[in-house]
Protein backbone atom coordinates (compact mmCIF):
# COMPACT_ATOMS: atom_id res chain seq x y z
CA UNK A 1 0.00 0.00 0.00
CA UNK A 2 1.33 3.43 -0.92
CA UNK A 3 2.15 6.03 1.69
CA UNK A 4 -0.17 8.56 0.09
CA UNK A 5 -3.63 7.89 -1.31
CA UNK A 6 -3.19 7.13 -5.03
CA UNK A 7 0.12 9.07 -4.86
CA UNK A 8 -1.91 12.06 -6.03
CA UNK A 9 -2.43 15.67 -4.97
CA UNK A 10 -6.03 16.61 -4.14
CA UNK A 11 -7.66 19.99 -3.69
CA UNK A 12 -9.51 20.32 -0.38
CA UNK A 13 -11.58 23.15 1.04
CA UNK A 14 -9.67 25.09 3.68
CA UNK A 15 -12.60 25.04 6.12
CA UNK A 16 -12.67 21.22 6.10
CA UNK A 17 -9.11 20.90 7.43
CA UNK A 18 -8.73 20.61 11.19
CA UNK A 19 -5.42 21.61 12.82
CA UNK A 20 -3.00 18.97 14.02
CA UNK A 21 -3.62 18.53 17.78
CA UNK A 22 0.03 17.57 18.15
CA UNK A 23 1.45 20.66 16.46
CA UNK A 24 4.55 21.54 18.51
CA UNK A 25 4.64 25.17 17.41
CA UNK A 26 2.91 27.60 19.76
CA UNK A 27 4.04 30.86 18.21
CA UNK A 28 3.54 31.90 14.59
CA UNK A 29 5.16 35.17 13.55
CA UNK A 30 2.39 37.35 12.12
CA UNK A 31 4.77 39.33 9.91
CA UNK A 32 6.15 36.16 8.34
CA UNK A 33 2.65 34.75 7.89
CA UNK A 34 1.53 37.89 6.06
CA UNK A 35 4.62 37.70 3.84
CA UNK A 36 3.85 34.07 3.01
CA UNK A 37 0.20 34.97 2.38
CA UNK A 38 1.33 37.63 -0.13
CA UNK A 39 3.50 35.05 -1.88
CA UNK A 40 0.60 32.56 -1.96
CA UNK A 41 -1.68 35.18 -3.56
CA UNK A 42 0.85 35.57 -6.38
CA UNK A 43 2.08 32.01 -6.87
CA UNK A 44 -0.31 29.76 -4.93
CA UNK A 45 0.67 27.04 -2.45
CA UNK A 46 3.76 25.52 -4.02
CA UNK A 47 4.06 22.55 -1.65
CA UNK A 48 1.07 20.39 -0.79
CA UNK A 49 -0.05 20.02 2.81
CA UNK A 50 -0.21 16.54 4.36
CA UNK A 51 -3.53 15.44 5.87
CA UNK A 52 -5.46 12.38 6.98
CA UNK A 53 -9.00 11.71 5.77
CA UNK A 54 -11.82 10.73 8.12
CA UNK A 55 -15.39 9.79 7.22
CA UNK A 56 -18.09 10.99 9.64
CA UNK A 57 -21.67 9.95 10.13
CA UNK A 58 -24.00 12.93 9.63
CA UNK A 59 -27.20 13.53 11.58
CA UNK A 60 -29.25 12.84 8.46
CA UNK A 61 -27.64 9.42 8.09
CA UNK A 62 -25.30 10.38 5.29
CA UNK A 63 -21.52 10.36 5.31
CA UNK A 64 -19.35 13.42 5.63
CA UNK A 65 -15.63 13.87 5.26
CA UNK A 66 -13.16 15.90 7.30
CA UNK A 67 -9.42 16.20 7.08
CA UNK A 68 -6.89 16.52 9.89
CA UNK A 69 -3.64 18.32 9.22
CA UNK A 70 -0.45 16.34 9.70
CA UNK A 71 2.08 18.81 8.29
CA UNK A 72 1.83 22.32 6.87
CA UNK A 73 0.05 24.45 9.47
CA UNK A 74 2.01 27.57 8.56
CA UNK A 75 0.98 27.18 4.91
CA UNK A 76 -2.63 26.55 5.94
CA UNK A 77 -2.75 29.69 8.10
CA UNK A 78 -1.17 31.77 5.34
CA UNK A 79 -3.63 30.34 2.78
CA UNK A 80 -6.51 31.45 5.00
CA UNK A 81 -4.97 34.93 5.26
CA UNK A 82 -4.63 34.99 1.47
CA UNK A 83 -8.34 34.17 1.13
CA UNK A 84 -7.89 30.82 -0.64
CA UNK A 85 -10.90 28.54 -0.68
CA UNK A 86 -8.93 25.36 -1.40
CA UNK A 87 -5.39 24.11 -0.91
CA UNK A 88 -3.45 21.20 -2.43
CA UNK A 89 -3.02 18.22 -0.10
CA UNK A 90 -1.49 14.77 0.02
CA UNK A 91 -3.76 12.32 1.87
CA UNK A 92 -1.94 9.78 3.99
CA UNK A 93 -3.18 6.22 3.77
CA UNK A 94 -4.24 4.26 6.86
CA UNK A 95 -4.84 5.21 10.45
CA UNK A 96 -2.37 7.68 11.90
CA UNK A 97 -1.39 7.14 15.52
CA UNK A 98 -0.91 10.04 17.91
CA UNK A 99 2.79 9.28 17.90
CA UNK A 100 2.99 9.46 14.11
CA UNK A 101 1.17 12.82 14.06
CA UNK A 102 3.56 14.25 16.64
CA UNK A 103 6.62 12.80 14.92
CA UNK A 104 5.70 14.17 11.50
CA UNK A 105 4.89 17.63 12.89
CA UNK A 106 8.19 17.79 14.77
CA UNK A 107 10.28 16.51 11.88
CA UNK A 108 8.70 18.92 9.39
CA UNK A 109 9.23 21.93 11.64
CA UNK A 110 12.82 21.00 12.50
CA UNK A 111 13.71 20.41 8.85
CA UNK A 112 12.33 23.86 8.06
CA UNK A 113 13.88 25.36 11.23
CA UNK A 114 10.43 26.71 12.08
CA UNK A 115 10.43 25.73 15.76
CA UNK A 116 11.60 28.11 18.47
CA UNK A 117 14.10 26.58 20.93
CA UNK A 118 11.36 26.39 23.57
CA UNK A 119 8.81 24.75 21.25
CA UNK A 120 11.47 22.29 20.12
CA UNK A 121 12.36 21.41 23.72
CA UNK A 122 8.70 20.91 24.63
CA UNK A 123 8.16 18.71 21.58
CA UNK A 124 11.14 16.53 22.55
CA UNK A 125 9.81 16.45 26.11
CA UNK A 126 6.49 15.04 24.87
CA UNK A 127 8.29 12.33 22.97
CA UNK A 128 10.22 11.32 26.09
CA UNK A 129 7.32 11.48 28.54
CA UNK A 130 4.33 10.38 26.48
CA UNK A 131 6.03 7.86 24.19
CA UNK A 132 9.08 6.85 26.27
CA UNK A 133 11.61 7.81 23.61
CA UNK A 134 15.30 7.88 24.53
CA UNK A 135 17.34 10.93 23.56
CA UNK A 136 19.33 9.05 20.92
CA UNK A 137 16.06 7.72 19.42
CA UNK A 138 14.69 11.24 19.06
CA UNK A 139 17.98 12.29 17.50
CA UNK A 140 17.62 9.62 14.81
CA UNK A 141 14.05 10.71 14.08
CA UNK A 142 14.99 14.35 13.50
CA UNK A 143 18.45 13.86 12.06
CA UNK A 144 20.27 15.36 15.04
CA UNK A 145 22.74 14.10 17.63
CA UNK A 146 21.84 12.81 21.07
CA UNK A 147 23.68 15.82 22.56
CA UNK A 148 21.51 18.18 20.51
CA UNK A 149 18.36 16.60 21.96
CA UNK A 150 19.72 16.56 25.53
CA UNK A 151 20.82 20.20 25.34
CA UNK A 152 17.43 21.20 23.98
CA UNK A 153 15.66 19.48 26.86
CA UNK A 154 17.88 21.21 29.41
CA UNK A 155 16.23 24.51 28.46
CA UNK A 156 13.12 23.36 30.32
CA UNK A 157 15.09 23.19 33.59
CA UNK A 158 15.42 26.98 33.57
CA UNK A 159 13.01 29.19 35.54
CA UNK A 160 9.79 30.11 33.74
CA UNK A 161 10.74 33.79 33.38
CA UNK A 162 13.88 32.84 31.46
CA UNK A 163 11.96 30.37 29.27
CA UNK A 164 9.42 33.10 28.47
CA UNK A 165 12.21 35.55 27.61
CA UNK A 166 13.69 32.99 25.21
CA UNK A 167 10.28 32.48 23.57
CA UNK A 168 9.92 36.25 23.15
CA UNK A 169 13.45 36.60 21.65
CA UNK A 170 14.69 38.74 24.55
CA UNK A 171 17.62 36.33 24.82
CA UNK A 172 19.05 33.75 22.43
CA UNK A 173 19.42 30.02 22.83
CA UNK A 174 23.16 30.60 23.26
CA UNK A 175 22.48 32.71 26.35
CA UNK A 176 20.86 29.74 28.06
CA UNK A 177 24.24 27.99 28.37
CA UNK A 178 25.82 30.43 30.85
CA UNK A 179 22.49 30.74 32.66
CA UNK A 180 22.36 26.96 33.12
CA UNK A 181 25.85 27.09 34.62
CA UNK A 182 24.20 28.88 37.56
CA UNK A 183 21.20 26.55 37.84
CA UNK A 184 21.93 25.87 41.53
CA UNK A 185 22.44 29.56 42.33
CA UNK A 186 19.07 31.18 41.57
CA UNK A 187 19.95 34.67 42.81
CA UNK A 188 23.12 34.89 40.73
CA UNK A 189 21.29 33.33 37.78
CA UNK A 190 18.57 35.99 37.95
CA UNK A 191 21.14 38.76 38.23
CA UNK A 192 23.05 37.48 35.19
CA UNK A 193 19.78 37.22 33.24
CA UNK A 194 18.95 40.86 34.06
CA UNK A 195 22.43 41.92 32.95
CA UNK A 196 22.08 40.06 29.64
CA UNK A 197 18.80 41.84 28.90
CA UNK A 198 19.70 45.28 30.27
CA UNK A 199 23.26 45.46 28.94
CA UNK A 200 22.58 43.40 25.79
CA UNK A 201 25.49 41.10 26.63
CA UNK A 202 26.55 38.70 23.92
CA UNK A 203 26.95 34.98 24.65
CA UNK A 204 30.71 35.18 25.15
CA UNK A 205 30.38 38.01 27.68
CA UNK A 206 27.68 36.13 29.58
CA UNK A 207 29.76 32.94 29.64
CA UNK A 208 32.76 34.86 30.97
CA UNK A 209 30.68 36.23 33.86
CA UNK A 210 29.20 32.81 34.65
CA UNK A 211 32.64 31.16 34.67
CA UNK A 212 34.01 33.90 36.92
CA UNK A 213 31.16 33.35 39.37
CA UNK A 214 31.80 29.60 39.41
CA UNK A 215 35.55 30.06 40.01
CA UNK A 216 35.02 32.65 42.74
CA UNK A 217 32.46 30.44 44.44
CA UNK A 218 34.81 27.47 44.43
CA UNK A 219 37.65 29.59 45.83
CA UNK A 220 35.47 30.89 48.65
CA UNK A 221 34.31 27.45 49.73
CA UNK A 222 37.29 27.44 52.10
CA UNK A 223 35.85 30.49 53.85
CA UNK A 224 32.17 29.83 54.57
CA UNK A 225 31.81 33.02 56.60
CA UNK A 226 32.86 35.07 53.56
CA UNK A 227 30.19 33.34 51.44
CA UNK A 228 27.52 34.05 54.05
CA UNK A 229 28.45 37.74 54.22
CA UNK A 230 28.42 37.98 50.42
CA UNK A 231 24.97 36.32 50.31
CA UNK A 232 23.67 38.79 52.91
CA UNK A 233 24.90 41.69 50.76
CA UNK A 234 23.16 40.21 47.69
CA UNK A 235 19.89 39.67 49.54
CA UNK A 236 19.98 43.19 51.01
CA UNK A 237 20.86 45.01 47.78
CA UNK A 238 19.20 42.74 45.23
CA UNK A 239 22.21 42.63 42.93
CA UNK A 240 25.46 40.74 42.50
CA UNK A 241 28.06 41.53 45.16
CA UNK A 242 31.58 40.10 45.05
CA UNK A 243 33.98 40.07 47.97
CA UNK A 244 37.63 39.66 47.05
CA UNK A 245 39.78 38.79 50.03
CA UNK A 246 43.46 39.73 49.97
CA UNK A 247 46.32 39.14 52.37
CA UNK A 248 45.51 42.41 54.05
CA UNK A 249 41.87 43.52 53.74
CA UNK A 250 40.05 43.12 50.47
CA UNK A 251 37.54 44.68 48.11
CA UNK A 252 33.72 44.66 47.80
CA UNK A 253 32.32 45.06 44.25
CA UNK A 254 28.63 45.90 43.73
CA UNK A 255 27.14 45.46 40.25
CA UNK A 256 24.57 47.87 38.83
CA UNK A 257 22.82 48.22 35.46
CA UNK A 258 22.61 51.97 34.95
CA UNK A 259 22.62 55.29 36.84
CA UNK A 260 19.04 54.86 38.01
CA UNK A 261 19.91 51.45 39.41
CA UNK A 262 22.97 52.93 41.15
CA UNK A 263 20.87 55.70 42.72
CA UNK A 264 18.32 53.12 43.89
CA UNK A 265 21.11 51.10 45.55
CA UNK A 266 22.41 54.22 47.28
CA UNK A 267 18.93 55.18 48.49
CA UNK A 268 18.44 51.65 49.84
CA UNK A 269 21.70 51.86 51.79
CA UNK A 270 20.89 55.35 53.11
CA UNK A 271 17.35 54.33 54.01
CA UNK A 272 18.56 51.27 55.93
CA UNK A 273 21.22 53.35 57.67
CA UNK A 274 18.69 56.05 58.63
CA UNK A 275 16.23 53.47 59.97
CA UNK A 276 18.98 51.80 62.00
CA UNK A 277 20.08 55.12 63.52
CA UNK A 278 16.48 55.98 64.33
CA UNK A 279 16.01 52.66 66.10
CA UNK A 280 19.19 53.21 68.09
CA UNK A 281 18.19 56.72 69.10
CA UNK A 282 14.75 55.54 70.22
CA UNK A 283 16.27 52.76 72.29
CA UNK A 284 18.52 55.30 74.07
CA UNK A 285 15.64 57.56 75.09
CA UNK A 286 14.85 57.02 78.81
CA UNK A 287 11.24 56.05 79.65
CA UNK A 288 8.84 58.84 80.55
CA UNK A 289 7.77 59.20 84.20
CA UNK A 290 4.20 59.93 85.20
CA UNK A 291 5.12 63.53 86.10
CA UNK A 292 6.48 64.14 82.62
**Cα(75)–Cα(87) distance, rounded to whole angstroms?**
9
Query: Which entry of 68, 73, 244, 283 is annotated as an active-site residue?
Result: 73
**Cα(197)–Cα(132) distance, rounded to whole angstroms?**
36
Cα–Cα distances (Å) from 22 to 52, 55, 56, 106, 206, in that order, read 13, 20, 21, 9, 35
- 73 is annotated as an active-site residue: yes
59 with 45: CB under 8 angstroms?
Answer: no
DSSP letters along 141-170, please?
Answer: HHT--HHHHHHHHHGGGS-HHHHHHHHTTS
Burial of 109 (0-12, 13-18, 19+ CB in 10 A): buried
**Cα(10)–Cα(30) distance, rounded to whole angstroms?**
28
Residues carrying an active site annotation = 73
Amino acid sequence: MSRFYNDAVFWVEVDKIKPNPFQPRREFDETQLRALADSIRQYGVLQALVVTRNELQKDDGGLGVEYELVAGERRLRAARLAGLGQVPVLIRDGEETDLMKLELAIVENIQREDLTPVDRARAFDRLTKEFNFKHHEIGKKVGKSREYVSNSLRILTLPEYIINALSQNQITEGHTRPLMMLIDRPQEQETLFKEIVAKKLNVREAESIARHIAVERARKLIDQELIEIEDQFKEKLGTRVRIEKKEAGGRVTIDFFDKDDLRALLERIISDDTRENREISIENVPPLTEEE
